[in-house]
Amino acid sequence: MTYSIGDLLDVYKKFATAQGWQASVIDSSAGDDGGFKNFVLDIKGQSVYSKMKWEAGVHRVQRVPATESQGRVHTSTATVAIMPECDEVDVKIDPKDIEMSTMRAGGAGGQVCALCVVSVSFVVRERKRVCVCF
């Protein structure tokens, strides 16, 4: 699989160059047989996300390893994640606008179970947003 990951890197770098974008590897891990185990590619340019978002997901990768004497095709997968780079935003939340509620376990299970908080939810009144943590 490590050779196919390098091939995938080459494809994305060549596509980025053809689009006039700048592509650079910002992180990578070496595979057992000299290729890549994984990589993180940073691509900058006009409309990168709108053109690359369809690449996200699991891709089927086929190859014939150098050690395969009978020429059988090995199939594996590669996962591609496409994430837009967002602008920094300063968010100011007044602590008075935060409502916090907790939930405890119910039903049978002994007294210890009733003492454990199993869920915490935060509601920011002004923005009507709910964040639930389990």
Output the pLDDT for position 4. Answer: 67
Asked if pLDDT for residue 117 goes beyond 90, the answer is: no
The pair of three-digit structure tokens given for residue 55, joined into one six-digit string: 């690449």
Asked if pLDDT for residue 3 goes beyond 60, the answer is: no
The domain defined by 2-80 folds into: Alpha-Beta Plaits (3.30.70)
| Residue spans per domain, the chain | 2-80, 95-133
Output the pLDDT for position 92. Answer: 81
To the nearest whole number, what is the mean pLDDT of the chain? 80
- Of residues 41 and 122, which shows the higher confidence score? 41
The pair of three-digit structure tokens given for residue 88, joined into one six-digit string: 């920094």
| Secondary structure of 34-85 in HEC code, one letter for each residue | CCEEEEEEEEECCCHHHHHHHHCEEEEEEECCCCCCCCCCEEEEEEECCCCC
Determine if the pTM surpasses 0.95.
Answer: no
Q: What is the pLDDT of residues 52-92, one digit of tens each?
A: 999 999 988 777 777 888 888 888 888 899 988 888 888 78
